Structure 1
Amino acid sequence: MTPAATTPATPAYRRLSVEERRRQLLGAALSLFAHRAPEDVSLDDVAEAAGVSRPLVYRYFPGGKQQLYEAALGSAADELKLCFAEPQTGPLTRRLIRALDRYLAFVDQHDAGFSALLQGGSVAETSRTTATVDGVRRAAAEQILTHLGVAGTAGPRLRMMVRTWITAVEAASLIWLDEDKQPPADELRDWLVDHFVALLTATAATDPQTAAVTRAALATETADGPAGVLARRVIPVIAEATHLL
């Protein structure tokens, strides 16, 4: 007698906790906002992406799409803030390379959403979203100042230099997206590291605190590292301008 066929067991349904459901909805929203401007994403889109009903989305975000967008933006901001967190060991340029690799990976994965976020003009933009974005910039600047060993004690010139570089990183990222992600991310990263070293040394010429920080940072660099490579490329160019001395 042939044994009766057995039906594969269906996995038991597991009700998600409030926090798990919220993370699920935020994940779906972030995925959509990553590739479409906020005004082009509806709650129905989020519900469909999460595999739930529209009323369920409203239950967790009664403020509608604006509340969901601000929550998703906050989640993305938390991720961006972590990009520049690095152990305080090793050459500064190596730390910047790792931080920028994470930052540019985020930009690559959230291209349209990143552009809409930083360029502004979205119908979802409010004072709260603007403050969230500014918070990312300030957190990144504080991380850089920590790497330089002057967190909490940086003078105005050094602080301005770091914040200027953060702004340049943002601008370069937006241009990179507009240029179909060319040059390759690793080339853009290396150029941004060179930009940081150049800004740091230029500021050191007129600011004693930056000069001390620069000497300390360069002392940890190696000849085959980014700072050494940059020096070998720049020195021949400067050598041709001896008439300025």
Structure 2
Amino acid sequence: MTTGVRRRMGVEERRQQLIGVALELFSRRSPDEVSIDEIASAAGISRPLVYHYFPGKLSLYEAALKRASEDLAARFSEPHEGPLGARLLRVMRRYFDFVDEHGPGFAALMRGGPAVGSSATNALIDSVRQVAYEQILAHLEITEAPARLELVVRSWISLAESTALIWLDGRRIPRGELEVQLVHDFAALTAVSAAYDEEMTALVKRMVQDEPAEGPFADLAARLIALAG
């Protein structure tokens, strides 16, 4: 008969374990509903030991949000190959994978949760938005966006956030439809802006020139033509 010996974790390893446990709990329930006792129990340690690594639930919550924000930001990373519409659709699918898996955590990240007003939390949210913004510009092969394009891209990122938050409240629209709709929204916002600006017109022409007939941009055009008919 052998006796199992619990391995002693190093300081950083234990911190990362607690962050992972907290993120898992915050992903399933509102952070306000998760107690330090629950986190300690799930990690297999005592409540005082949790406080040894984190001064309180807020600091642990912010550490968990930091990991979640890094994960969410990484969802916007996509190889610069193939039609833009297909790339954006893959990004939206990964984005909604995160939203689906971490519903309460995503809502807490975007709404601030118990850390409303925290400069650290706001900075995390802004960092995700900035990564998304820079990734979209990179796909458009633009280093510095003109004013109208910046407005389009940042508005679209906000639209993706609000769409995901509304979807979480009941999930009344099939997720796949929303993913495609958000890609259509990007094309539509860009096209509307192009109606007022020659620089945006040139960008739209570049966006659609290599789009296949079965791609999401062509699908949007077909739907609009059908409506007009």
Pairwise TM-score range, normalised by the shorter structure: over 0.9
AA aligned to 1:212 is A
**Is 1:223 aligned with 2:213?**
yes
> Do structure 1's residue 175 and structure 2's residue 166 form an aligned pair?
yes
Whether the 8 Å contact between 1:141 and 1:163 is mirrored in structure 2 is yes
1:69 equivalent in structure 2 = 61
Letter in 2 for 1:38: P
CA–CA separation in structure 2 for the residues paired with 1:52 and 1:220:
56
Residue 184 of structure 1 pairs with residue 174 of structure 2:
yes
Amino acid at match of 2:176: D
User: Which residue of 1 is the match for residue 152 of structure 2?
Assistant: 161
**Is structure 2 residue 31 aligned with structure 1 residue 31?**
no
Report deviation, 1:12. Answer: 4.5
TM-score (norm 1): 0.87
Q: Alpha-carbon deviation of 1:10?
A: 4.5
1:20 is displaced (CA, Å) by 2.0
Task: Look up the match of 2:79.
Answer: 87
For residue 107 of structure 1, what is the aligned residue in structure 2?
99
* Unaligned residue ranges in structure 2 (runs of 5+): none
Aligned to 1:204: 194
Give the aligned partner of residue 15 of structure 2.
22
CA distance in 2, matches of 1:10, 1:140: 50
The worse-fitting range, judged by mean Cα deviation, of 137-146 and 159-168 is: 137-146
For the pair shown, the structure with the greater C-alpha radius of gyration is: 1
Matches within 5 A, 1:52-63: 52-61=45-54, 63=55
- Separation in 2 of the partners of 1:195 and 1:81? 20
How many Å separate the matches in 2 of 1:160 and 1:221?
Answer: 24
Q: 3-state DSSP class of the match of 1:224?
A: coil
Deviates more, 1:51-60 or 1:99-108: 51-60
Q: Is the 8 A contact 1:158 1:209 kept in 2?
A: no
AA paired with 1:174? L
* Cα deviation, residue 106, structure 1: 0.8
Q: Check the 8 A contact 2:58/2:114 in 1, yes or no.
A: no
Task: Give the Cα–Cα distance (whole angstroms) in 1 for the partners of residues 96 and 56 of structure 2.
Answer: 30
Aligned partner of 2:222 among 232, 235, 239: 232
- 1:38: Cα distance to partner? 2.0
Alignment correspondent of 1:145 = 137
User: CA–CA distance in 2 between the matches of 1:129 and 1:81?
Assistant: 15
**What residue in structure 2 maps to residue 47 of structure 1?**
40
Secondary structure at 2:114's aligned position in 1? Answer: coil
Letter in 2 for 1:112: P
Give the alignment's Cα RMSD to 1 decimal.
Answer: 1.6
Distance 2:3 2:176 in 1: 46
The amino acid that maps onto 1:222 is: P
Q: Secondary structure of 2:226's partner? A: helix
Where does the alignment leave 5 or more consecutive residues of structure 1 unmatched? 1-6, 241-245
Give the drift of 1:19: 2.6
- Compare 132-141 and 79-88 and name the one that shifted more: 132-141
Q: What TM-score does the superposition give when structure 2 sets the normalisation length?
A: 0.93
Deviation (angstroms), 1:11: 4.8
